[in-house]
Amino acid sequence: MLTAQVEGWNKGDVGAYMHGYWESDSLVFIGKNGPTYGYAATLERYRKSYPNAEQMGQLTSTIVRMEHLSGDYYFVIGKWALARSMGDLSGSYTLLIKKINGEWVIVVDHSS
């Protein structure tokens, strides 16, 4: 799922990237401006921040640590980097991933 997100991003497809997130009002995304609640609001946040493929750039995601918390949960610590013609960006993330209806999805994302 995490690999598919990177592939979607690198094709300039925010919608494909978002397939890794829980499509629920209970999704929580925490960025530099504080929390965003819900799938629709998180999708809108990404579309505003990265309106085209040039702004999106090429994403690299590196998992630093992955811990299996229980049968249905993983905790992930990682680093992200965007290579862009307008200037590179990078940071870190923590994810809480849950298995829902047989699929692994991000339920909490704290990226900075």
Reading the chain (112 residues) residue by residue, the pLDDT tens digits are: 999 999 999 999 999 999 999 999 999 999 999 999 999 999 999 999 999 999 999 999 999 999 999 999 999 999 999 999 999 999 999 999 999 999 999 999 999 9
Which pLDDT value is given to residue 92? Answer: 98
Reported for 78-87, long-range contacts at CB under 8 A and 24+ positions apart, including other chains, are: 80/111, 82/56, 82/57, 82/58, 83/57, 83/58, 84/54, 84/55, 84/56, 84/57, 84/58, 85/54, 85/57, 86/54, 86/55
Class of domain 2-111: alpha beta
Task: Quick: pLDDT tens for 66-91.
Answer: 999 999 999 999 999 999 999 999 99
